[in-house]
Structure 1
């Protein structure tokens, strides 16, 4: 229960109460996703939390489902060399020289946590630093999402004043402290045994974590306040569950290419001689890392939240009820997360649906959704029946309550044009446009995506030379590497200096390339 002043919106009340309510557009009323069930003296009904003000006593029920969180990551054998070790006398020491509280006894466990802080979720990996064994993996939703699905919305809110900044920061700290508690409780250990945290994330969110000014991230040329690396006592950062621990945050590559991208680059052996490769992590911000010979390029593009379900009329995050796979043949075939009734569609389902609709000719290369009379005759009657005219709007119905509209298709086109445009610019600069290129798809969206369908809609730009592979939570795997290997930490810091960083959205030629990539490919390669 919480008391608020009359006229307060339910969304603001939820923020004050610490309730984890999703508000992808940050409360502007555009997305329509913050629906809550209101029970009051006047009755009950579903209303938008951001547009409904409190005028009397009422009860509020949330309709949200917890998202599916990608915890799995590709791992490799790591030579054990953590920053925290025991000397010959059994005393703890830190290779960076920081003083550590002595152990109660020499048989006491020495624990470390690697944490990947994402825009939507946080994932933590708890390790025994003495033998390198994995003890627990746990995850929570990032409490900041009530201030917007993307970091731009959150930056905008935080820039309105120090009070707003601290609200966002506290939400992140609450999520992190909760995650640490869960990890330790899950294996019956105590948080006072955690001696080090390695925390990676995108540059804006890590600025909130480190309590750094964010003004430079809001205007071109989008520079971080400091690049790092950062060592801090957890108590100084208000990580109250492990105040005795040392916290390490690797350097940022650029304004919107953060320590999570650097961690992914290290674990995927960027900087070492070998295959020409590109790592792509597609979220609300698309991060692109490219290695060609000795050349290392890093870039970010504003993909927006459409590929995570926000801004799509029936879109939702990957949670129970979301359509995650779509196949069209004689009729529509769907896979739904949790196996129940479809209540919306998430990013991987969106890409599948558009790829299949392109293949059957329901959409032309400009992205126009065609009426049944213009669809090729070979397409089945059942598929054509799913094209419904609702007033002036044409829809393609996937399930009883789930459809795709022309507006949805345009939203995906905008997102895919940003990512594909960024890829085109960096590959052209590195002169690899017509060379074989290993493409590593990282992060939650990239890991659940069907790579063939991503190529079909042009999400990765030019298709014929690309070999896409999914690598799971590469940022999380990189954070683990940096926790268990002090030498890898040093290598990461050197690698961060080698990347040439491009903030593509601020470049004059990005808009032209972006517009070129709006159209869908006319054929499959």
Structure 2
């Protein structure tokens, strides 16, 4: 409940698995290890005449060791159970509490405003074919080929197998006039008749799709005009199998049917999204003739039906790294039977076709200036370079920036705090929530908040609140919450041996804890360490321009990203959000096949850096734990923002002293490299 889905399951089935098999979204960040607490459910007791069952807490397994440990450490409200640990022992009616489904994600990947010169892989060709002649016994299909050669210069044509039985009927229906869709991607490849219509047909469309681990975004585009007809996005339904990529790989490893389930899930989602954009644009899906897909390596492999297990362990071997050409019908996408699919090449085991798409879009390889391109996500992808040389790496930031490891964190959804400011004099906060244009101290906010709720902190606000706490002196550059400030404000609260900052006191208190700050420090340090490694490989001490890509990157304030030390120092005017750059790259490759050749060539010359093998990653990671950094200077940032004086604080609030903390950071660095 409240979905109303029901089914029969063997005794001993985890409630989470039952929910997944019914298509009910129950959030699980930890991959079923009973550590995140996001999969909470409640058993509804009583007789349910409609279902002819009696539901009781006696019909669910007692709390095991993992669940008891979670309850002891984190607390579990009365009546709540962790669905990953609790198993079905009898008839049950299970409720997914509303406070655990607040993360109905706001999809934030939008269309682009860019002129792309057209040279698509599909061309429509209208021809009038000679009628049959008893004295010239040439078949109908052969005479069609003759006219396509004569009128359009297409020789040595292939014909999609599904069309061969239909050719005669289509020719006669069109009174010997037809429109053929010819596909040729590579100049050296033979052209192929992939679709055929009677008479004049003047509609040909393509889709550009970015399959992200969290969000799937799609553009429907006219191949004739280049116009974006419709754009849409949806949450990746694979989330029910695991919030992050490694959780999904683990699911595949632990479940014999796991790979097939995840593949079907993502293909069904792409098909559903295709239907949606076609409906919005008033387009017949049968007129969709070409598709370009990008995604990280694990999404890439699962979409193609490839087991991603090898990507979950060193040496992170890709099954295929080059571009992929295949038929849409082989993947069951519900568009024209003859439609083709092109997938951009992957750069490395954890730097995928999405990074290739972003590289194509922003073009560091086309310019003299040193460009840093970062797609901030659970596995950040980093590209650095210019026309002389380009290097790339991935850095395991984890899901903290998406709220998964934050006590009050959540995905971007209505009611989530998305912007934060803290008065350094009073330490009082003001904030904005998704769904309202008002700040919390403005008239009318309370009424809007009453309707939307104030439900948690999303990624952009997580970065801002930690940076604002640093600017206001609430945390030191080492990230320690200053417990002495409790004498100034009741927003500083002691929680065990550490302190937290109360951001919102309401029906649901929203605080930033010491552990939250640590989680953000660990995530940003992993990203910054990866960037520093690439800068060292190129022998540069600064970058000229920074592009923040992806749905999350689009909503990060560059100033706060730099205060946090997420990115290196740069002129703030040269730091820009580039939106869904991976999707833009897919769009470019859809509308102009020359861009396919460009990115294929570029990827071959990109030098891949494996952070897990780099001995200096650990030192860069430790240095990056400080805000904004222990050793690197930020002159451009200092010119724009008054930063606190350099004064690291020992963790006198009850945490360990500095030497102990440093060793823990080193262990964290080793974990990030492994």
Which bin holds the TM-score, normalised by the shorter protein? over 0.9
Aligned position for 1:385: 490
CA distance in 1, matches of 2:16, 2:346: 33
CA distance in 2, matches of 1:487, 1:5: 54
TM-score, with normalisation over the residues of structure 2? 0.73
Aligned position for 2:624: 517
CA distance in 1, matches of 2:510, 2:198: 58
TM-score, with normalisation over the residues of structure 1? 0.93
Q: Which of residues 480, 485, 488 in structure 2 aligns to 1:368?
A: 480
Aligned position for 1:53: 87
Cα shift readout 1:397-422 (whole Å, capped 9, x = no counterpart): 11122111111111111100000001
Q: Do structure 1's residue 250 and structure 2's residue 250 form an aligned pair?
A: no
Deviation of 1:451 after TM superposition, in Å, equals 0.8
- Post-superposition, which runs of at least 4 consecutive aligned residues in structure 1 deviate over 6 A? none
Cα shift readout 1:188-210 (whole Å, capped 9, x = no counterpart): 33222111111100011100111
CA distance in 2, matches of 1:386, 1:105: 73
Aligned position for 2:553: 446
Give the stretch that moved more between structures: 303-312 or 126-135: 126-135
CA distance in 1, matches of 2:87, 2:255: 23
CA distance in 2, matches of 1:414, 1:463: 22
CA distance in 2, matches of 1:281, 1:428: 20
CA distance in 2, matches of 1:104, 1:200: 34
Cα shift readout 1:296-341 (whole Å, capped 9, x = no counterpart): 1111111100011001111101111211111001421011112333
CA distance in 1, matches of 2:44, 2:613: 47
CA distance in 1, matches of 2:386, 2:277: 39
Q: Counterparts of 1:296-445 in structure 2 under 5 Å?
A: 296-329=390-423, 330=426, 331-339=428-436, 340=449, 341-373=453-485, 381=488, 384-400=489-505, 401-434=509-542, 436-445=543-552
Deviation of 1:215 after TM superposition, in Å, equals 3.6
Give the stretch that moved more between structures: 33-42 or 304-313: 33-42
Q: Counterparts of 1:84-233 in structure 2 under 5 Å?
A: 84-87=122-125, 89=127, 90-96=179-185, 97-233=191-327
RMSD in angstroms over aligned alpha carbons? 2.2
Secondary structure of the 2:195 match is coil
Q: Given the superposition, is the C-alpha separation of residues 143 and 248 from structure 1 closer, same or farther in structure 2, using an over 3 Å criterion?
A: same
Aligned position for 1:503: 610
Secondary structure of the 1:68 match is coil
The structure with more radius of gyration: 2
Give the stretch that moved more between structures: 71-80 or 6-15: 71-80
CA distance in 2, matches of 1:21, 1:98: 45
CA distance in 1, matches of 2:203, 2:387: 43
Higher RCO, 1 or 2 (CA under 8 Å, sep at least 6)? 1
Give the stretch that moved more between structures: 346-355 or 57-66: 57-66
CA distance in 1, matches of 2:277, 2:81: 36
The answer for unaligned runs of 5 or more in structure 2 is: 1-5, 47-55, 58-77, 128-178, 186-190, 437-448, 639-674
Q: Which of residues 17, 20, 23 in structure 1 aligns to 2:25?
A: 20
Secondary structure of the 1:87 match is strand
Between the two proteins, the alignment pairs up a number of residues equal to: 517
Secondary structure of the 2:548 match is strand
Secondary structure of the 1:236 match is helix
Q: Which has the higher helix share?
A: 2
Give the stretch that moved more between structures: 270-279 or 125-134: 270-279
CA distance in 2, matches of 1:450, 1:480: 26
Give the stretch that moved more between structures: 417-426 or 82-91: 82-91
CA distance in 1, matches of 2:118, 2:571: 41
Q: Which has the higher strand share?
A: 1
